């Protein structure tokens, strides 16, 4: 029975990189879409901001 050390295996791997190459199984492409907020989004954000401002005015600390 032959026993190999981690160093033996590492050296073999580094000396024979072509044996361990695999073709890609997937590719990834990124697509960026700019999304503008709707009028409803803007109104909701404004209400949230006004609510937070009201809370801050009531609690000075």
6-58 residue pLDDT tens: 999 999 999 999 999 988 888 878 888 888 999 999 999 999 999 999 988 88
Residue 60 has pLDDT above 80, yes or no: no
What residue segments make up the domains of the chain, in order of their start? 6-58
Q: What is the pLDDT of residue 39?
A: 94
Could you tell me the pTM of the whole model? 0.41
Q: How many residues does the chain have?
A: 61
Rounded to 5°, the CA angle 23-26-27 comes to 110
Tell me what pLDDT residue 21 has: 92
Please give the structure tokens belonging to residue 41.
């989004």
- Given a contact cutoff of 8 angstroms between Cβ atoms, the answer to whether 52 and 45 are in contact is no
pLDDT at 24: 82
**So what's the pLDDT on residue 48?**
94
Q: State the Cα–Cα distance between residues 38 and 44, nearest whole angstrom.
A: 10
CA distance 5 to 19: 19
């Amino acid at each position: 029975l032959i026993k190999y050390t981690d160093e033996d295996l590492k050296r073999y791997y580094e000396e024979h990189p072509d044996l361990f190459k695999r073709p890609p199984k997937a590719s990834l492409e990124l697509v960026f879409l700019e999304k503008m907020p709707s009028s409803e989004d803007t109104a909701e954000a404004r209400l949230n901001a006004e609510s937070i401002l009201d809370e801050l005015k009531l609690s000075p600390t």
